[in-house]
Amino acid sequence: MPLLDLPLDQLKKYTGRNPRPADFDDYWSDALHQLDKLGAAYTLEPAAFKAPQAEAFHLWFMGVGGARIHAKFLRPKNFSGTIPGVCAFHGYTWHSGNWQDQLALVAQGMAVASLDVRGQGGLSEDNLVVKGMTHGGHIIRGVDDPNPHNLFFRNVFLDCAHLARILMEMPEVDAGRIGATGGSQGGGLTLACAALEPRVKLAAPVMPFLCDYQRVWEMDLAKHAYGEIREYFTRFDPQHFRQEAFFERLGYIDLQHLASRIKAEVLWGTGLMDNICPPSTQFAAYNKITSSKNMRVFPDNGHENLSGFPDEVFEFLCAL
């Protein structure tokens, strides 16, 4: 079998390269305290989209830092009692997708909220003000700010947990039956959601992004979605004087360091030829999860559709 990364037996033991900041736990305790103060207020606006068995709404809430955050929200037209809820997350720079994308889950009696990541392709606002360079890319946004709380993805991770809390507060949704899923960036945000809101019951990340940044760079794969890491060094630190501090700062938003907080049952899909989100970076997070978990490995697949796995994710979430 061709190898892009470590052999599978080594991947199963790999624990990551990117440093974990000494105050990591305090950092996220402070962040969650900020989220707690926001509560779970939201508004629903009827959407123009029509489907025979579903109701569609624009869901709006105020995220950390005062940004107005949007998600597409769908629920069945006819149901009794309370129903499960699913948070859906999209890929890097994209948006919440088409309304019809979530109808299969809605047809199974579920409510689905599909987040627009702030500042990317959807309707959510990005009002973050940071010091330092703002060259393209969200991973490095805020990396040179004196305050690590101004890292862009800190707020995005909190938005994901916030969305799960909103679903849990909806009168029609059973707070004990919440799932999360997404691919690439959406896979990473699935991990963030389940880590920061441990009441999430099921999590189905697919080839997740935002893990083990230093490993990506060491593999010479800081390109494509991770290309801003290379751009940062070539433009702003060409002799790598700040390399250690750079990766330590990114450690605050490295999902491998949040993974141990996950309580959900996890179904994970990965391709061993993934040169966008390398397998070792994913295993760095997966190996730190202590809850019930299963990984489906596709030896010849890269960062692409994993044939048959979407059906397995659907069946997995239908167990909510």
Active-site residue, 274 included? yes
Q: What pLDDT is stored for residue 131 in this prediction?
A: 87
Mean pLDDT of the chain, nearest integer: 97
pLDDT digits (tens, 9 = 90+) for 164-204: 999 999 999 999 999 999 999 999 999 999 999 999 999 99
The arithmetic mean of pLDDT across residues 208-233, rounded, is 96
**What percent of the residues of the chain are helix, what percent strand, and what percent coil, each to the nearest 5?**
35, 20, 45
The arithmetic mean of pLDDT across residues 13-17, rounded, is 98
Q: What pLDDT is stored for residue 101 in this prediction?
A: 97
Q: What pLDDT is stored for residue 132 in this prediction?
A: 84
| Number of structural domains the chain divides into | 1
Kindly state whether residue 72 falls inside one of the protein's structural domains.
yes
- Strands 111-115, 173-183: pairing kind: unpaired
- Structural domain including 162 reads 42-317
- 133 pLDDT more than 80: no
Q: What pLDDT is stored for residue 168 in this prediction?
A: 98
Kindly state whether residue 285 falls inside one of the protein's structural domains.
yes
Q: How does DSSP classify residue 42?
A: -
The arithmetic mean of pLDDT across residues 127-141, rounded, is 88
Active-site choice (116, 144, 159, 274): 274
Kind and range of the H or E run holding 302: none
C-alpha distance from residue 208 to each of 172, 263, 274 (Å) = 30, 18, 11
The arithmetic mean of pLDDT across residues 220-227, rounded, is 95
Kindly state whether residue 17 falls inside one of the protein's structural domains.
no
The arithmetic mean of pLDDT across residues 15-30, rounded, is 98
Q: What pLDDT is stored for residue 200 in this prediction?
A: 98
Backbone angles phi, psi at 185, to 5 degrees: -55, -40
3-state SS, 110-147, equals: CEEEEECCCCCCCCCCCCCCCCCCCCCCCCCCCCCCCC
Those residues whose C-beta lies under 8 Å from the C-beta of residue 25, and which sit 6 or more positions away, are: none
Active-site residue, 58 included? no
Kindly state whether residue 104 falls inside one of the protein's structural domains.
yes
Kindly state whether residue 19 falls inside one of the protein's structural domains.
no
The sign of the CA dihedral 251, 257, 262, 268 is: positive
Q: What pLDDT is stored for residue 1 in this prediction?
A: 59
Q: What three-state secondary structure class fits 164?
A: helix
Those residues whose C-beta lies under 8 Å from the C-beta of residue 47, and which sit 6 or more positions away, are: 56, 57, 58, 72, 99
Kindly state whether residue 5 falls inside one of the protein's structural domains.
no
Q: What pLDDT is stored for residue 122 in this prediction?
A: 97
- 315 pLDDT more than 70: yes
Domain harbouring 289, CATH code = 3.40.50.1820
Distance (Å, whole) CA 83 – CA 63? 25
Active-site residue, 80 included? no
Kind and range of the H or E run holding 240: none
pLDDT digits (tens, 9 = 90+) for 83-96: 999 999 999 999 99
Query: What band does 50 get if pLDDT is binned at 50, 70 and 90?
Result: very high
C-alpha distance from residue 34 to each of 171, 253, 255, 300 (Å) = 24, 17, 19, 43
Query: What band does 76 get if pLDDT is binned at 50, 70 and 90?
Result: very high
Kindly state whether residue 252 falls inside one of the protein's structural domains.
yes
Q: What pLDDT is stored for residue 241 in this prediction?
A: 98
Kindly state whether residue 7 falls inside one of the protein's structural domains.
no
Active-site choice (144, 184, 254, 280): 184
- 3 pLDDT more than 90: no
